[in-house]
Structure 1
Amino acid sequence: MDIATLIGIFSAFALVLISIMIGGSLTLFFNIPSIFIVFGGTIGATMIHYPIRDVLSVMNVAKNVFFTRVWSTQEVVDRFVEFANKSRREGILALESELANVDDPFMVKGLQLTVDGMEPDSIKEILETEIEYLEERHRSGAEVLNTMATFFPAMGMIGTLIGLVQMLSSMEDPSTIGPAMAVALLTTFYGAVAANLVCLPMAGKLRKRSQEETLVKEMIISGIVAVANGENPRIIEQKLHSFVPPKARASRFD
């Protein structure tokens, strides 16, 4: 669970709600027609823009905003130094016993291919292809959220125009001006909140998550290839430390 995301969402919405309640009743900002126009219109427009498969899959990708656990770079370095030591002492097949202790499917796949005797270049090619498709899935999810962030304010503007037309067409009846004006203003409010407090921040977090995950997976590929080539653990550590900021490097051989 990502604490920063939870704190950000809670604080953003809490401050907006508190500001509303200070100025008046919260019920003034609840309007069913406005909700239908903004959220219904945005979902419909998104489904026109993308295949239904992509729209539904965004929920799967969006959960990475809250629940993804990315290995720290130092964890990866330590694990591959251990793998290299074991491989040099007991042989490459000894790594098979380590598979049950690794909870990263990508690392497990790389180790299994190494144990199975595949050439290091072939292992690297397979794993790099997997990274490419991972990045494409993340990019697709962030793109859908960015598109929704574009549609939300646009649907809010459409709702505003609807409200203004209703208001201007019934100026002779003062009792209808209030509800029509509420639709006109609240649709813009809903669209701005949904775009700027939900879609855009989530798309940004997904891009950041993708960068972090890609970096770790590239480290894993480098470690797998080095272990498959039987390189010295100290050399492997130095290679993997090139992915780590200098201040965060901790050598096991000092």
Structure 2
Amino acid sequence: MDVLSLSGLLLGLVAILGGIVAKGSSLGALWNLAAFLIVVVGTLGATLLQTRAPVFAHALRMFPWVFKPPRLDLEAMIKQIVVWSHLSRKEGLLSLEERSEHEPDPFVRKGLQLLVDGAEPQSLRQVLESDLDNSESFDLQGARVFESMGTYSPTLGIIGAVMGLMAVMQNLTAPGRLGPGIAAAFVATIYGVGLANLFFLPVASKLKSLIQARINYQTMILEGLVAIAEGENPRNIEHKLLGFIQR
């Protein structure tokens, strides 16, 4: 569990809910069905309009990463690559075939299988870099779904506020309804700006940072497998890969 993400979400809620109470209003003032429909449902509609179905589904699958990031143990993987290097030097690349069959990570499994099949280092690099680029592109498209929501929701919040004020202007002959009407109109703005800055945009940024961390991890694996294919000394491989660890 990512404590920072959870803490950030809770602090954001405390800031909004605590702030409205401190201003002398009630929590019930934050609820308005019309504002919810305009901002939340409208934002979802605009996002669906611009996004391909596979990308939107991928964005939903990625969302749990914000609170439970993929486990990337670079030090453990470096040790594993060094073990594979020793094994390949002693028993040949075919000795890695059994290891590839039991490897859970598809990227690593593919790399090991290419080694076993006798792929040249340059060919191995090209294939894995292509996979890496495609994976990064698709992941970034998923993160941009939340970024788009953060772009649309403030605008829809303004639309909701304007629509609310239009309704108020139509009831100027009833002064007792003006105050509550104006307050309800601005709830849409709170929804739009609040969701964008306390949820959608932070989620997009967090996902992008996690994607970058995974790219760094997979690039390290790529360099290690290419080094094994080139027959480098295991100790040299270890020293090279340690440079990928970000402290």
The TM-score with structure 2 as length reference comes to 0.91
* Cα distance between partner residues in 2 of 1:153 and 1:210: 26
- Give the match for residue 126 of structure 2: 125
Bigger CA drift: 73-82 or 180-189? Answer: 73-82
Q: How far off is 1:100 after superposition? A: 5.7
1:5 maps to a residue whose letter is: S
Bigger CA drift: 182-191 or 62-71? Answer: 62-71
Q: How far off is 1:77 after superposition? A: 1.9
- Give the match for residue 88 of structure 1: 89
| Secondary structure at the counterpart of residue 63 of structure 1 | helix
- Give the match for residue 243 of structure 1: 244
- Give the match for residue 103 of structure 1: 104
* Cα distance between partner residues in 2 of 1:93 and 1:3: 43
Change (3 A) 1:80 1:54: closer
**For 1:132-211, what aligned pairs fall within 5 Å after superposition?**
132-211=133-212
Bigger CA drift: 160-169 or 96-105? Answer: 96-105
* Cα distance between partner residues in 1 of 2:114 and 2:123: 9
* Cα distance between partner residues in 2 of 1:3 and 1:94: 41
What are the Cα deviations for residues 73-114 of structure 1, in whole angstroms up to 9, with x where unaligned?
A: 322321211111122222222222333664322112211221
2:43–2:149 contact (8 Å) kept in structure 1: yes
What are the Cα deviations for residues 118-141 of structure 1, in whole angstroms up to 9, with x where unaligned?
A: 222222111111111111112212
* Cα distance between partner residues in 1 of 2:237 and 2:52: 44
1:27 maps to a residue whose letter is: G
**Structure 2 unmatched runs, 5+:** none
Runs of 4+ in 1 over 6 A off after TM superposition: none
The TM-score with structure 1 as length reference comes to 0.88
- Give the match for residue 226 of structure 2: 225
* Cα distance between partner residues in 2 of 1:118 and 1:156: 56
What are the Cα deviations for residues 33-66 of structure 1, in whole angstroms up to 9, with x where unaligned?
A: 1100111111122223333443343212323323
| Secondary structure at the counterpart of residue 200 of structure 1 | helix
Bigger CA drift: 118-127 or 188-197? Answer: 118-127
1:14 maps to a residue whose letter is: V
1:147 maps to a residue whose letter is: S
- Give the match for residue 65 of structure 2: 64
Q: How far off is 1:179 after superposition? A: 4.4
2:32–2:184 contact (8 Å) kept in structure 1: yes
- Give the match for residue 251 of structure 1: none
1:159–1:183 contact (8 Å) kept in structure 2: no
Change (3 A) 1:208 1:45: same
Bigger CA drift: 192-201 or 9-18? Answer: 9-18
Q: How far off is 1:175 after superposition? A: 4.2
**Structure 1 unmatched runs, 5+:** 249-254
* Cα distance between partner residues in 2 of 1:55 and 1:196: 21
* Cα distance between partner residues in 2 of 1:115 and 1:6: 43
Root mean square deviation of aligned Cα: 2.0
* Cα distance between partner residues in 2 of 1:3 and 1:112: 37
* Cα distance between partner residues in 2 of 1:240 and 1:218: 10
Q: How far off is 1:155 after superposition? A: 0.4
2:132 maps to a residue whose letter is: I
Q: How far off is 1:29 after superposition? A: 0.9
* Cα distance between partner residues in 2 of 1:36 and 1:183: 13
User: Equivalent pairs: percent with the same residue?
Assistant: 36
| Secondary structure at the counterpart of residue 67 of structure 2 | helix
* Cα distance between partner residues in 1 of 2:198 and 2:31: 18
- Give the match for residue 9 of structure 1: 9
